[in-house]
Amino acid sequence: MRMHVDTWDPGYGTSLSGDDRSPSKTEVETDVEMSDWRPVTPGTVAEARLIRLVDGVRRIDARVWLDSGEPGPPSLGVAASYAAGVVTCDLAAGSATLDTPLVERALFTAERLAAVPVRGATYISVPIGSDDPAKLDAGIQAKLRELEIRVAQQAGADHDLLIVDGPLQGRSSLPRVLGYIKTHRAQYLPPAHTSVVNVLESGQRTPIFRLGSPFPRLSWYVQLPGGDGAPWAGVVRVECPAELSVAEAVALADLSAVTLPRLASSPYKDPRAPQNLLPIGGLERRLRALLGDARLLHRSLRLAVA
């Protein structure tokens, strides 16, 4: 019996989910690139030079209750702030720049309300049609995803790679885009193919496999350096649009395997190392600062609706 200590700070959960990591019902095609699965070491592939990384952060500033005056309990809503930005890394020059980030605030409720101005900001109304907490949360995530797409489009297309945090759903039309998934919540591969992930070394990847509905895409796993400890430590899943040819997908997969290790974080710099890439960690810290003081916003909301 062996025990492993997960490299992630326990406040962020685990990189390899436990109880909820059940076999996925998504249709999987494993012989896209090769039928004889084995670790893939890219050949003489030059790493990407200009990389753009897109991420967003969100925060619930307050929960609100709406009383219509009609019989029945009040309905739940949330006031949330969310922000998205792009960090551009030039690996040859060793530089990183933050493109203009966007910040929005909104009231997510069952019905449309008037906008609520507070000190230095305004909460727009986003009607969800329900006060179910799960649907309110999904509404926040949808608006954040829209904001991430906007900042990515504004950043331009003069890059070698565009990396978005999370699955590609709704963002596959962006140029040379890869989805970057650092937490494994579903088991996509059958056991025989999963064993290949277990033996990956830094800079290696699995062969490409195809994921079907609800949204098709091509995917592969990459091993980052410094992932000692728990099973699949340092393993990330990467995906690209399903519309690409196999040759185009292989080129992107090889490019990701030689480039992503350069961006991997270290435990003393990031509690989710090495999967939370260094530029992403810096971007998240900057975006959280732009969200403003949560206590001040909470107090301003109480005064505004009093």
**Rounded to two decimals, what is the model's pTM?**
0.86
Is residue 2 domain-resident? Answer: no
Q: Are 263 and 279 in contact, with CB atoms under 8 Å apart? A: yes
Is residue 86 domain-resident? Answer: yes
Reply yes or no: is the peptide bond before residue 39 cis, omega within 30 of 0. no
Separation of CA 267 from chain center: 19
Domain span at residue 96? 10-305
d(Cα 183, Cα 202) in Å, to the nearest integer? 18
Is residue 3 domain-resident? Answer: no
SS3 string, 4-35, reads CCCCCCHHHCCCECCCCCEECCCCEECCCCCC
Is residue 58 domain-resident? Answer: yes
Count of domains forming the chain: 1
Is residue 102 domain-resident? Answer: yes
* 159: its two tokens: 């890059």
Is residue 187 domain-resident? Answer: yes
Burial of 176 (0-12, 13-18, 19+ CB in 10 A): middle
pLDDT (tens, 9 = 90+) of the chain, 306 residues, equals 344 445 555 445 555 544 445 677 788 999 999 999 999 999 888 889 999 999 999 999 999 988 877 777 889 999 999 999 999 999 989 899 998 899 999 999 999 999 999 988 899 999 999 999 999 999 999 999 999 999 998 888 899 999 998 999 888 888 999 999 988 888 899 999 999 999 999 999 999 999 997 889 999 999 999 766 667 888 999 999 999 999 999 999 999 999 999 998 887 777 877 888 999 999 999 999 999 999 999 999 988 887
d(Cα 166, Cα 236) in Å, to the nearest integer? 11
Is residue 4 domain-resident? Answer: no
Exposure letters 209-237 (e unless 16+ CB within 10 A, then b): bbbeeeeebbbbbbbbebbeebebbbbbb
